[in-house]
Amino acid sequence: MSKISIVAAGDSFITQRLPQDIHFAQLKNYIEAHDVRFTNFEILLHDFEVYPAPTSGGTWAVARPEVLQDIKQLGFNMMSWANNHTIDWNIGGILTTMKHLDENKCIHAGVGINLAEASQPRYLDTPEGRVALIGCTSTMSEWGMASAQRPDVLGRPGANVLRYQAINKVRPEDFEKLREIVEQTEVNSNRILNEREGFSKPVEGGYYVGSIRFEPGEEPGTVTKMNSKDAERIVRSIREALRQADVVLVSHHTHERKGLEKDRPADFARDFAKLCIDSGAHAYIGHGPHIWRGIETYKNRPIFYSLGDFIFQNDSVERQPTEFYDLYDLGAENTVSDGLDARSANETRGLVADRRVFESALVSFAVTDGEIAEITLKPLSLEFEYGRSRRGRPQFSDKENGERILRDIANLSVEFGTIITIKDGVGTIGLK
């Protein structure tokens, strides 16, 4: 009988070294008790020898390479780093991060020197069997996508991206009004001219306002659909992994949501998660919005729509480029703290003011001969109540706060028909 134990954490947005205290030791002991220890590594590693990109995934994510030692000391042995920050420091940031991960013999997925490498499963051999990890992101600007190699042109370093399309449906009478209004303007002129001159492919279906697609429909609203070409590529990676490994995990970074509800996944993410399971994956591990989303079990396999944060030191970045300061009308005389205070309105808005960002859980389960019987949730607190210097560091929650966090996760999971049993500060999900 083969039994492989797995623990998974959400985003590790680590920008400063963690203290080697009792909380660190407790986390380390728990994580290292598992064969497979996964996190989403949401930071780039360099000493500011590379150029920043003109835009970022929200913050130009960067830390000194030394922080990787804390991730390793905590016991993590598999990670994805395909996310909205992968391209924050241009291709130079990708290459330096890849260099440090490789030099430290980290098993990492989702980013590569070209699309083939970014899409590849990465493997971890445990005493009980081999585990494959496939990483991808849907939250990413197009210029951060890895590109395929050609016989005569190099592929581009970047992330394994799952694109999607949003379709906005409006009532037929409103659709006609929309067309009438748009055609009074020049909003579509660039797109139409580029199509006429052959510089872009003509769009099919619906009516476009710039790049935004509208369709008439009796039920107004927005639906999202995954890009079939990208989905097919990821499915091929899953099927290849199944030929080489005993367990296959898919990591998906997705901020996309249902309307303004950050704690609910977008339609395409739900479809993609099930596609991964249908294709043979043993678990879908989502992350991205920096808060938890519900858990679904599908065909007796877990779908974690978002694991929230494991480490979130977003407000402890050492340096930011000019563009960061420009966002808040600040100049060269201003500091990082000035920019962070402007962004958060002195910590009264945004991620820093949202307690949910700093409450999370580790999930663990075992795959025994391909089957999963139970999922365990150990709640975490990331020191929300402390100032910038401590906020974002993980520790196990006390019983009272832990059970409150678990109840929140349980409530998010109701729409998926998942029941979480809470006892003594630990959550469990039984699978049939």
**Any idea where the domains of the chain sit in the sequence?**
3-149+228-319+354-430, 172-216
- Residue pair 34/5 in contact (Cβ under 8 Å)? The answer is yes
| Structure confidence at residue 201 as a pLDDT band (50, 70, 90) | confident
**Using one digit for the tens of pLDDT, what is the confidence trace for 249-268?**
999 999 999 999 999 999 99
Mean pLDDT computed over 186-198: 90
Q: What is the pLDDT of residue 141?
A: 85
| 212 has pLDDT over 90 | yes
Q: What is the pLDDT of residue 373?
A: 95
Give the whole-number percent of the chain exceeding pLDDT 90: 92
Q: What is the pLDDT of residue 200?
A: 86
| Structure confidence at residue 158 as a pLDDT band (50, 70, 90) | very high
Q: What is the pLDDT of residue 192?
A: 87
**Using one digit for the tens of pLDDT, what is the confidence trace for 101-146?**
999 999 999 999 999 999 999 999 999 999 999 999 999 988 899 9
| 204 has pLDDT over 90 | no
| 218 has pLDDT over 90 | no
| Structure confidence at residue 203 as a pLDDT band (50, 70, 90) | confident
CA–CA separation, 159 vs 146, rounded Å? 5
Supply 417's token pair. 């028909």
| 209 has pLDDT over 80 | yes
| 1 has pLDDT over 80 | no
Mean pLDDT computed over 181-185: 93
- Dihedral sign from CA coordinates of 145, 9, 36, 418: negative
**Using one digit for the tens of pLDDT, what is the confidence trace for 382-421?**
999 998 999 999 999 999 999 999 999 999 999 999 999 9
- Residue 105: CB partners within 8 Å, gap ≥ 6? none
| 347 has pLDDT over 90 | yes
Q: What is the pLDDT of residue 367?
A: 98
CA–CA separation, 152 vs 137, rounded Å? 28
* DSSP β-ladder status, 108-109 and 78-80: parallel
- Residue pair 225/169 in contact (Cβ under 8 Å)? The answer is no
Q: What is the pLDDT of residue 246?
A: 98
Q: What is the pLDDT of residue 56?
A: 96
| 205 has pLDDT over 80 | no
Quote the pTM value.
0.96
Selection from 126, 121, 101 nearest residue 110 by Cα: 121
The β-bridge partners of 359 are: 381
Which range (160-174, 192-206, 258-272, 287-301) has the least confidence? 192-206
Mean pLDDT computed over 292-308: 98
- Residue pair 320/341 in contact (Cβ under 8 Å)? The answer is no
CA–CA separation, 98 vs 81, rounded Å? 10
**Using one digit for the tens of pLDDT, what is the confidence trace for 41-61?**
999 999 999 999 999 999 999
Q: What is the pLDDT of residue 206?
A: 81
Q: How far is CA 21 from CA 8, 24, 27, 37, 309, in A?
A: 22, 5, 10, 20, 20
Supply 414's token pair. 């109701």
Q: What is the pLDDT of residue 263?
A: 97
- Residue 422: CB partners within 8 Å, gap ≥ 6? 403, 406, 407, 410
Structural fold of domain 3-149+228-319+354-430: Purple Acid Phosphatase; chain A, domain 2 (3.60.21)
- Residue pair 356/291 in contact (Cβ under 8 Å)? The answer is yes
| 154 has pLDDT over 80 | yes
The β-bridge partners of 208 are: 213
- Mean per-residue pLDDT over the chain, rounded: 96
| Structure confidence at residue 191 as a pLDDT band (50, 70, 90) | confident
Q: By CB neighbour count within 10 A (0-12 exposed, 13-18 middle, 19+ buried), where does 77 fall?
A: buried
Mean pLDDT computed over 227-241: 98
